């Protein structure tokens, strides 16, 4: 983790393989741990508490896949600063000094929960800021961090689509082992989200479940996480674009309290390699391209 003055540089990193094996992109949008000093100064909570929102080490779990033939994407700034897994302007007017643009989405469920594009709270519900922040500062984060990331991700998706005729985006996240509500049942090791069957071919989550289940992981589907903006926005099976979200239970690869890698970390990273290899060799990508209208 790095503290620095000024802008995040680089804001995100895309590593393309020397030799492409398959049209599969592995993306880690929430593992960023580079905190701007001005953000820390404005926060009413300490760095340790802010870091609870991170998908800690997820970028490392998938990072080696670029050497196996798959492009990887990682965001370096924290989701508590700017969340790229939201619409570009999901903004809570209670957070800001100044007038939001008329096109801002101020009434989404995520905004209501404090988890918009510029989050108001961290994952356990604690307020981030001591006082309101300037609207212009929020919009500047979107212009300099959020939008360049999505432009780059879109370029990569288009490149893969042109090369292979189809794309599979695996959006990789992690979740706390215990939910906020005491009534929530024990969380499985992995939750697969496909927006309830709308973001990808059914074959993709089925194959993920078969593979990870065979490796000993307990699996859930779409609850409590069905996929966020990235899965919804980039998943368009009719156009040959398939997106699936994976949420890993943090307890399987890290000590959540100490925020340290656990002894099982290397095995989980290796299992990601197994999953990537299985998807590359068993998914019939030629059948996943844009749907063709039947001839009359």
49: nearest Cα among 88, 78, 16, 23: 78
Number of Cα atoms under 13 Å in the Cβ half of residue 121: 12
For the chain, give the longest Cα–Cα distance.
65
Region 268-285: mean pLDDT is 98
pLDDT tens readout for residues 172-218: 999 999 876 667 778 999 999 999 999 999 999 999 999 999 999 99
Look at residue 48 and give its three-state secondary structure: helix
> How far apart are alpha carbons 2 and 254 in whole angstroms?
20
Looking at every residue in the chain, the average pLDDT score rounds to: 93
Please name the residue ranges forming H helices in the chain. Answer: 37-42, 47-50, 58-63, 109-112, 135-141, 147-164, 203-214, 229-234, 265-282
pTM above 0.75, yes or no: yes
pLDDT tens readout for residues 133-178: 999 999 999 999 999 999 999 999 999 999 999 999 999 999 999 8
> How far apart are alpha carbons 81 and 140 in whole angstroms?
12
> What token pair was written down for 170?
């695996």
User: What's the DSSP call for residue 258?
Assistant: T
Per-residue confidence (pLDDT) for residue 293, from 0 to 100: 38
- The burial class, CB within 10 Å (0-12 / 13-18 / 19+), for 102 is exposed
Strands annotated E in the chain: 3-4, 12-15, 24-28, 35-36, 72-75, 96-97, 133-134, 167-175, 190-193, 219-221, 241-249, 254-255, 260-261
Q: β-strands 241-249, 35-36: how paired? A: unpaired
pLDDT tens readout for residues 41-68: 999 999 999 999 999 999 999 999 999 9
> How far apart are alpha carbons 21 and 230 in whole angstroms?
23
242: nearest Cα among 293, 208, 206, 204: 204
211: nearest Cα among 177, 246, 238: 246
175: nearest Cα among 157, 189, 156: 189
Helices 265-282 and 203-214 pack at an angle, to 10 degrees, of 140
> How far apart are alpha carbons 54 and 32 in whole angstroms?
7
> How far apart are alpha carbons 109 and 115 in whole angstroms?
9
pLDDT tens readout for residues 11-38: 999 999 999 999 999 999 999 999 999 9
Per-residue confidence (pLDDT) for residue 236, from 0 to 100: 97
Look at residue 104 and give its three-state secondary structure: coil
Contact (CB, 8 A) for 244 and 212: no
> What token pair was written down for 204?
């993709």
State whether the Cα torsion 158-162-165-170 is positive or negative. Answer: negative
Least confident of 89-98, 255-264, 285-294: 285-294
Per-residue confidence (pLDDT) for residue 5, from 0 to 100: 40
> How far apart are alpha carbons 130 and 43 in whole angstroms?
6
């Amino acid at each position: 983790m790095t503290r620095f003055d000024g802008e995040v540089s680089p804001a995100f990193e895309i590593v393309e393989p020397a030799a492409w094996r398959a049209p599969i992109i592995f993306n880690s949008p929430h593992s960023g741990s580079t905190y701007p000093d001005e953000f820390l100064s404005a926060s009413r909570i300490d760095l340790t508490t802010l870091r609870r929102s991170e998908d800690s080490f997820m970028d490392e779990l998938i990072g080696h896949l670029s050497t196996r033939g798959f492009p990887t994407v990682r965001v370096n700034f924290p989701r508590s600063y700017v969340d790229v897994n939201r619409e570009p302007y999901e903004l809570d007017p209670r957070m800001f000094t100044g007038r939001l643009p008329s096109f801002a989405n101020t009434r989404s469920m995520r905004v209501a929960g404090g988890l918009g594009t510029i989050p108001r709270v961290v994952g356990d519900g604690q307020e981030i800021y001591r006082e309101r922040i300037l609207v212009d500062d929020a919009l500047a984060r979107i212009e300099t961090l959020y939008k360049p990331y999505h432009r780059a991700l879109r370029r990569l998706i288009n490149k893969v689509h042109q090369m292979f005729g189809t794309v599979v985006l695996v959006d990789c996240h992690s979740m706390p082992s215990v939910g906020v509500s005491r009534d929530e049942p024990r969380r499985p090791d992995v939750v697969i989200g496909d927006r309830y069957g709308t973001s990808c071919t059914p074959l993709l989550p089925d194959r993920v479940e078969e593979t990870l289940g065979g490796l000993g992981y307990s699996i859930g589907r779409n609850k409590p996480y069905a996929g966020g903006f990235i899965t919804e926005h980039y998943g368009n099976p009719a156009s040959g674009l398939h997106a699936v979200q994976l949420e890993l239970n943090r307890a399987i690869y890290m000590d959540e309290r100490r925020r340290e890698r656990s002894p099982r970390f290397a095995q989980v990273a290796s299992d990601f390699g197994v999953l990537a290899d299985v998807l590359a060799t068993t998914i019939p990508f030629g059948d996943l391209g844009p749907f063709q209208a039947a001839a009359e």
